[in-house]
Amino acid sequence: MRRTMRSWLAGAGVLLLAGCASQATPPAAELFDCGALNRAVASADTGFADIKGRLETTRLTRTWQTDTQAFHDACVITSARRPDHYLCFGPLESDDPRGALVKGGEAVAQCLGEGWQSRRTTADRLEFTREGQDAVVILETFLNDRGRRMGTLGVYQNAADAAPRPDDP
């Protein structure tokens, strides 16, 4: 009886650990459209010309609609204080607010694939680069005015364009 109980407990522990391990990194497709993200990265070399749609201009910015939607169908190509860049906004659901950046970063890494390196540049910002590739992918999180953890996913033409501005929060 004692041996059977130990075997059962050991088996249950293995199943529990396997279940936890399999949920540690959700499939990237749950958070991002990997094909769209990779199209945006590939189009950075041309200033996103091949994915730009209708242009909308205001006094402060130029924004192009795009069919290339990598995150929550809320992506545009914009130019204001920075050269043209691809930018998406949406919620990053997580029980642990800081875990949202980790979870999102793991999913971006899955999408981008081999050769991409990530580094945390602030507590709420990850930068993805690849040797021989000018484009830079940025994932940032922030709390909105309702206390929800949100994320921005950006693709920039180069590292200088992606760098935080001194007056950015």
Q: Give the other-Cβ count within 10 Å of 113's Cβ.
A: 10
pLDDT value at residue 8: 37
Q: Read off the pTM.
A: 0.80
**Whether 147 contacts 87, CB under 8 Å:** no
The 10s digit of each residue's pLDDT in 130-159 is 999 999 999 999 988 988 889 999 999 999
pLDDT value at residue 130: 96
Q: Considering only the C-alpha atoms of the chain, give the largest distance between any 2 of them, rounded to a whole number of Å.
A: 78
The one-letter amino acid code at 8 reads: W
List the chain residues with pLDDT less than 50: 1-25
Give the CATH number of domain 28-162; options: 3.40.50, 3.30.70, 3.30.310, 2.60.40: 3.30.310
Residues recorded for the chain: 169
**Whether 128 contacts 115, CB under 8 Å:** no
pLDDT value at residue 82: 85
**Whether 72 contacts 30, CB under 8 Å:** no
Side-chain-side CA neighbours of 60 within 13 Å: the count stands at 1
Going by C-alpha positions, the residue among 145, 45, 149 that lies closest to residue 96 is 149
How far is Cα 34 from Cα 144, in angstroms, rounded to an integer?
Answer: 25
Q: Where are the domains of the chain?
A: 28-162
